[in-house]
């Protein structure tokens, strides 16, 4: 998440500061995706078919030809990166790896029987008259991902340690908000679903690619108060008793830390905020309609592109889980979209996080499995409990080295991913110390190798570990111990 008053980039900063012991305790700061207790999902539930229309006329939707180009294997040479039929010249910023680029071809959210797509369709069906875009290329400009959304020039989210760059100006989107400006020029009610990419650590709940759904609704600033009152009255009458089935707590208030924008009329802004929370409460209630005692709470948040801003959390098996970020859209963004007389809200949610909970899926890597035992379990528009299949044995290897001056754990994890791909289940820092005389820091990481789909041999893992040792020395200039 792009949040926190200190302009930190997401929970990741907090997460990096966590000790391995904290991690194994399950302590987890808020994130758009992350570890949380998994419930045993309820029995099969038939959901309403999705109402997401297709909009072939949209200039921003990939044509069939472009979509096919997206499926072609990306190519990285020493000079260039080719993805989606486009070639980009590399520079000092380029840090995207073949393993990551390969993920751009998968498009999980477009496979109707995939849990990510099932959740996408279900959420879309709660916004039936919204224009839904779901085939945008993940390659965007830094202007689209950051500048257009009012990110400060020195925002940590721009760092090469957090973001995958093709070159200085072109990157893999880190959030679906990268498309907000474009789509808002087209419609006042929009949804965008897409794969997003963030450099990260490795464990059962973190993966460098995940899926988000963005939603936004705009109103005429002059009539927003009356228009919204009528909309909410209509919705509540339609939802009836069902809308009250889940307990919602909202103690947020407009404060100097989470302020109204100067450009906004207070009554209009409050009406928009009401409509935002009302729409998202209805959405989450429908998604968890089988959950008798689901509790939802709203907390304050900070994003560069909304003010005021909030996060929704749900209480799940005793832990508060962050589900989405949202807020009142920065008026400058609406001005740039050619809509200065509108006022509106936007939200962004992580689909894997909801799918893990709703389907009871224990490991985020399973979403990427090509194993039929995973893929054949699900049906379009149905939430059903994941049936675990036997795990293949793990193979554990440690690697120790003296860290260079500018050591960043994400860079190390990136090399692990690049060498071993999805065969790595997790990477944990198991030991570290600073030499009393030389002040040099030594770290020891434990790598847990386990395939989701097959038995791995010790010889094969030894070879990978040897390759990893070589790459770590070469790319990070470390001294192995």
Q: Which residues bind ligand PHE (CB under 6 A)?
A: 1-2, 32, 175, 177, 214, 303, 306, 325-327, 346-348
Pairing status of strand 306-316 against strand 295-303: antiparallel
Token pair of 293 as six digits:
């005692």
Q: Output 306 or 331, the one with its CB closest to ligand PHE.
A: 306
Torsion, CA 117, CA 121, CA 123, CA 126, rounded to 10: 180
DSSP states along 321-388: EEEEEEEEEPHHHHHHTT-TTEEEEEEEEEHHHHHHHHHT---GGGGG---HHHHTT--TTEE-----
SS3 89: strand
Q: Return the C-alpha torsion angle 15, 21, 27, 28, nearest 10.
A: 20
Q: Give the nearest distance from C-beta 149 to ligand PHE in angstroms.
A: 8
Residue 420 C-beta: closest distance to ligand PHE, Å? 28
- Residue 112 CB, shortest distance to ligand PHE, in Å, is 25
**At closest approach, how far in Å is the CB of 258 from ligand PHE?**
12
> Which of 1, 140 has the CB closer to ligand PHE?
1
Q: In the complex with ligand PHE, which residue's Cβ is closer, 175 or 286?
A: 175
Q: Min. distance of Cβ 215 from ligand PHE in angstroms?
A: 8
Minimum distance between the CB of residue 278 and ligand PHE, rounded to whole angstroms?
16
- Residue 210's closest CA among 414, 356, 315? 356
List 400's β-bridge partners, or say none. 444
Residue (of 194, 219, 185) closest to 117 by Cα position: 194
Smaller CB separation from ligand PHE, 223 or 255: 255
Separation CA 158–CA 71 (nearest Å):
27
Nearer to ligand PHE, 381 or 410 (CB): 410
**Taking the complex as a whole, how short is the minimal distance between the CB of residue 85 and ligand PHE, in angstroms?**
27
Closer Cβ to ligand PHE, 38 or 191, answer by number: 191
State the minimum distance, in angstroms, from the CB of residue 119 to ligand PHE: 16
Closer Cβ to ligand PHE, 273 or 427, answer by number: 273
Q: Which is nearer to ligand PHE, 32 or 163 (CB)?
A: 32
In the complex with ligand PHE, the residue whose CB is nearer, 321 or 447, is: 321
> Which lies closer to ligand PHE via its Cβ, residue 298 or residue 347?
347
Could you give phi then psi for residue 73, rounded to 5 degrees? Answer: -60, 130
Cβ neighbours of 194 (radius 10 Å): 24
Nearest to 450 by CA among 471, 470, 421: 421
Rg value, the chain, Cα: 23
CB of 198 to ligand PHE, least distance (A): 9
Q: Are strands 165-167 and 342-350 parallel, antiparallel or unpaired?
A: unpaired
Token representation of residue 208: 């460098």
- In the bound state with ligand PHE, the residue whose beta carbon lies nearer, of 12 and 450, is 12
Closest to ligand PHE by CB, 81 vs 334, is 334
Hey, is 299 helix, strand or coil? strand
Q: How far is the CB of 180 from ligand PHE (least distance, A)?
A: 7
Q: Which two tokens stand for residue 65?
A: 């030809």
Nearest to 187 by CA among 210, 223, 214: 214
Alpha-carbon dihedral 437, 477, 423, 41, rounded to 10 degrees: 60
Q: Is the dihedral of CA 176, 180, 186, 191 positive or negative?
A: positive
Residues contacting residue 51 through CB under 8 Å, at least 6 positions apart? 124, 125, 128
- Outline where 389-457 has alpha helix (H): 409-420
What stretches of 220-312 show up as alpha helix (H) in DSSP? 224-239, 266-287
Instruction: Tell the smallest beta-carbon distance from residue 3 to ligand PHE (Å).
Output: 7
CB of 337 to ligand PHE, least distance (A): 14
* Residue 417: φ, ψ to 5°: -60, -40
Shortest Cβ contact with ligand PHE: which residue? 348
């Amino acid at each position: 998440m792009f949040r926190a008053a200190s302009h930190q980039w997401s929970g990741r900063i907090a997460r990096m500061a966590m000790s391995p012991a904290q991690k194994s305790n399950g302590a987890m700061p808020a994130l758009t995706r992350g570890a949380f207790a998994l419930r045993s999902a309820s029995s099969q539930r038939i959901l309403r078919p999705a109402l997401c229309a297709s909009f072939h006329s949209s200039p921003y939707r990939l044509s069939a030809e472009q979509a096919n180009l997206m499926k072609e294997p990306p190519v990285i040479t020493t000079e260039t990166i080719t993805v989606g039929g486009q070639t980009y010249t590399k520079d000092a910023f380029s840090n995207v790896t073949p393993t990551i680029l390969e993920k751009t071809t998968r498009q999980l959210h477009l496979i109707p029987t995939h849990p990510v797509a099932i959740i996408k369709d279900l959420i879309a069906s709660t916004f039936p008259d919204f224009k839904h875009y779901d085939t945008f290329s993940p390659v965007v400009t830094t202007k689209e991902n950051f500048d257009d959304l009012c990110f400060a020039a020195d925002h940590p989210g721009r760092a090469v340690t957090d973001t995958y760059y093709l070159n200085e100006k072109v990157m893999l989107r880190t959030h679906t908000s990268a498309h907000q400006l474009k789509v808002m020029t087209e419609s006042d009610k929009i949804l965008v679903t897409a794969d997003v990419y963030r450099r990260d650590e490795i464990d059962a709940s973190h993966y460098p690619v995940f899926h988000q759904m963005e939603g936004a609704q705009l109103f005429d600033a002059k009539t927003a108060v009356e228009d919204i009152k009528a909309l909410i009255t209509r919705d509540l009458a339609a939802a009836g008793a069902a809308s009250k089935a889940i307990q919602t707590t909202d103690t947020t208030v407009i404060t100097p830390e989470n302020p109204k924008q100067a450009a906004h009329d207070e009554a209009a802004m409050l009406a928009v905020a009401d409509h935002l929370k009302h729409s998202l409460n209805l959405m989450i209630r429908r998604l968890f309609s089988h959950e008798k005692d689901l509790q939802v709470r709203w907390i304050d948040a900070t994003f560069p592109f909304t003010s005021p801003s909030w996060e929704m959390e749900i209480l799940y098996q005793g832990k508060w889980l962050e589900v989405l970020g949202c807020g009142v859209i920065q008026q400058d963004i609406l001005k740039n979209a050619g809509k200065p007389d509108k006022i509106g809200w936007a939200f962004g949610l992580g689909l894997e996080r909801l799918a893990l909970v709703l389907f009871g899926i224990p490991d985020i890597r399973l979403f990427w499995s090509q194993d039929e035992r995973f893929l054949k379990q699900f049906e379009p528009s149905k939430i059903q409990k994941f049936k675990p299949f036997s795990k293949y044995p793990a193979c554990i290897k440690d690697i120790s080295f003296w860290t260079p001056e500018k050591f960043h754990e994400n860079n190390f994890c990136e090399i692990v991913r690049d060498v071993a791909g999805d065969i790595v289940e997790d990477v944990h820092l198991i030991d570290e110390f600073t030499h009393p005389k030389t002040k040099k820091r030594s770290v020891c990481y434990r790598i847990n190798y386990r395939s989701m789909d097959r038995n791995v041999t010790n010889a094969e893992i030894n070879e990978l570990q040897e390759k990893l040792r070589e790459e770590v020395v070469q790319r990070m200039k470390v001294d192995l111990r």
